[in-house]
């Protein structure tokens, strides 16, 4: 049984931890509002860009001389999974869920006879993927050197991915990233980004539209920007998901610390009362012996 001094030390230690988790919860809550607003503001732009790209892609569909990003390499044997994890921990099971989704996609592709490699964004989640696929890490990008990853980081990632695609290092690239729903729910989703899939939900436009320059020239500029926009949106969703998961995890940790403090306090009071009772019994027994 722990002594009174040990119990008091444990109570003080848990109280100190509770102060830290409470502070981190408040910081995450403050950052969440800004990150959520940024993620939600980027969604309409990405959706509208997809509609414009779909309108242009419909005009060049079936052409053998179309952009490489649209028609692909003609093969789907080599797949690249772009896994977007966070750079910091203490955000619950967010990173583990992303890694599970990436491994699930990798196993499904391998079962179909495909070759799978990984492009890792963020520090967390690298170890479990590297442990299971030690020779499957093609490249990566560290976003921990910036306070809040933005469009510049997304452009750098997209530029490297496009260079790898043009060099023939993979045929199809899939983006595995969290999608922010609310502070309690962040779901990992997998979407194909290279070659760019033509949207199927485009609205037909009866008006005659003339493009200057031609559709192919516009697509040559638009398709890389579309890939960058997808990555930029994934980074924004990741930031919002990280803050939401961190706020929820720290709230749970704070409540668990409070429950532990209550249990330790009850145990401390009982031990103290037992010690006092034992001393009283010894005093009374000694007085009666005299």
**Positions of E strands within the chain:** 78-84, 115-121, 137-141, 172-180, 186-194
Give dist(CA 48, CA 222) in Å, integer.
Answer: 12
Can you give the pLDDT at residue 60?
A: 59
pTM of the model: 0.79
Which CA distances in Å does 281 have to 273, 277, 286, 287?
Answer: 12, 6, 8, 10
Q: How far apart are the first and last CA of the chain?
A: 33
The sheet carrying 78-84 orders its strands as: 137-141, 115-121, 78-84, 172-180, 186-194
What pLDDT does 49 receive?
A: 78
Q: Where exactly does CATH 1.10.287.80 map onto the chain?
A: 4-20+250-289
pLDDT along the chain (290 residues), means of 10: 79 89 87 86 81 66 66 82 85 85 89 89 84 84 77 87 87 88 84 75 53 69 85 88 87 89 88 82 76
Query: Which CATH architecture fits 4-20+250-289?
Result: Orthogonal Bundle (1.10)
CATH number, span 34-248: 3.40.1380.10
Place of tokens 């008006």: 207
CB atoms within 10 A of CB 163: 11
Longest Cα–Cα distance of the chain, Å, equals 115
- Report the pLDDT value the prediction gives residue 206, as an integer from 0 to 100: 47
Q: Which of helix, strand or coil describes residue 161?
A: helix
* Range(s) of the chain covered by CATH 3.40.1380.10: 34-248
Catalytic residue (one of 56, 84, 91, 162): 91
Predicted local distance difference test score (pLDDT) of residue 1: 59
Is residue 91 flagged as an active site residue? yes
Comparing CA positions, the residue from 195, 187, 181, 180 lying closest to residue 226 is: 195
* Residue 77: per-residue pLDDT: 86
């Amino acid at each position: 049984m722990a002594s009174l001094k040990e119990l008091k030390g444990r109570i003080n230690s848990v109280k100190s931890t509770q102060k830290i988790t409470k502070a981190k919860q408040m910081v995450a809550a403050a950052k969440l509002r800004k990150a959520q607003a940024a993620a939600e503001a980027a969604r309409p732009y990405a959706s509208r860009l997809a509609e414009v790209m779909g309108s242009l892609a419909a005009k060049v569909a079936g052409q053998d001389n179309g952009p490489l990003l649209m028609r692909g390499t003609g093969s789907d044997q080599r797949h690249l999974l772009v896994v977007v994890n966070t750079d910091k921990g203490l955000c619950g099971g967010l990173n583990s869920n992303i890694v599970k989704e990436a491994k699930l996609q990798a196993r499904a592709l391998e079962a179909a006879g495909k070759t799978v490699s990984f492009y890792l964004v963020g520090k967390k989640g690298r170890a479990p993927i590297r442990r299971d696929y030690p020779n499957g890490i093609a490249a990566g990008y560290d976003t921990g050197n910036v306070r809040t990853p933005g469009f510049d980081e997304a452009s750098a990632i997209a530029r490297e991915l496009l260079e790898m695609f043009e060099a023939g290092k993979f045929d199809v690239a899939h983006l595995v990233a969290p999608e922010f729903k609310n502070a309690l729910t962040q779901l990992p989703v997998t979407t194909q980004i290279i070659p760019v899939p033509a949207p199927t939900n485009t609205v037909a436009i009866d008006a005659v539209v003339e493009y200057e320059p031609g559709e192919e020239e516009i697509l040559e500029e638009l398709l890389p920007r579309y890939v960058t926009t997808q990555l930029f949106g994934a980074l924004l969703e990741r930031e919002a998901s990280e803050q939401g998961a961190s706020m929820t995890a720290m709230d749970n940790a704070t409540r668990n610390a409070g429950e532990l403090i209550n249990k330790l306090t009850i145990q401390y009071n009982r031990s103290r009362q037992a010690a006092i009772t034992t001393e009283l019994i010894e005093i009374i027994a000694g007085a009666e012996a005299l």
